[in-house]
Amino acid sequence: MTADGLALPLRVWLPEEGPPRAAILALHGFNDYSNAFDGPGRYWAARGIATYAYDQRGFGAAPNRGLWAGATAMVDDLRVATALVRARHPGVPLYILGDSMGGAVALVGASAATPPDADGVILVAPAVWARSTMPLTHRVALWIGAHTIPWAKVTGRGLKIQASDNIEMLRGLGRDPLVIKATRIDTISGLADLMDLALARAPHLGLPALLLYGARDEIIPEDPTLALWRELPAAARRAQRRALYANGWHMLLRDLGAETVLNDIAQWIADPRAPLPSGADARARARLADGAS
């Protein structure tokens, strides 16, 4: 139950034996819903990690489907959900994981003056394609649409953008009635507002963090992602790790190579200071060095 009385659908994956050694509160991406974490949740449960995921308002089976709720409401929901999971597992390390749009929500929440009560954040291909990093044509088209026909709906047909190399999974999303296929223009504008805010808040992210990005991501461009990585506060750098997956797409947790990413997350939770098993953190450091030269 949210602070304003809405009931948001919740899914839970718990270890079969014994109490969890850690817990993840997962936030899904744009037009998706909590079922996005079914595979990851099962993987982590088998390794002693509990996963909780809810349909964010406006998505999945949550109220006001298709309508943009705004960053303030979404972060308030995150704060309430974090407190509930914390209360259910007192003394257990708790991490907020945000995937794409969920990553932007997690970033905005975790960088707030009063962040949710979590031990760290995991940002998976976070949606930080702020307007300042978009081509002018994109910004103009979005402004015109949002101010003239905000109720109109658009689809991604014809864009020739691929979100993952897991084609069977993508086909399943196409058949899933809870995945939104046509999006209101004012909702897209709201997402842009959220991405603007997320990138701007990067210098204020003081929590331990793991930031993941796929080199083959066609949804969130590399430039804003590198900008996010560079804007992270120097004071928290020892507790914040970046990871770049050479064969990773936007949907890193459901790509064909997802197990590598899921294992990195589990190992980072176990020891945030240790190098990632995949070496993706070393690859990220090299990419940042290349970009600075």
pLDDT tens figures, 83-130: 999 999 999 999 999 999 999 999 999 999 999 999 999 999 999 999
| Average pLDDT of the segment spanning 210-219 | 97
- Domains annotated for the chain, with CATH where assigned, are 10-292 (3.40.50.1820)
Q: How far apart are CA 115 and CA 205, in angstroms?
A: 10
SS3 label, residue 149: coil
**Per-residue pLDDT tens digits for 247-266:** 999 999 999 999 999 999 99
pTM, to two decimals: 0.95
Residues 6 or more apart from 210 whose CB is under 8 A from it? 120, 121, 122, 123, 240, 241, 243, 264, 265, 268, 272
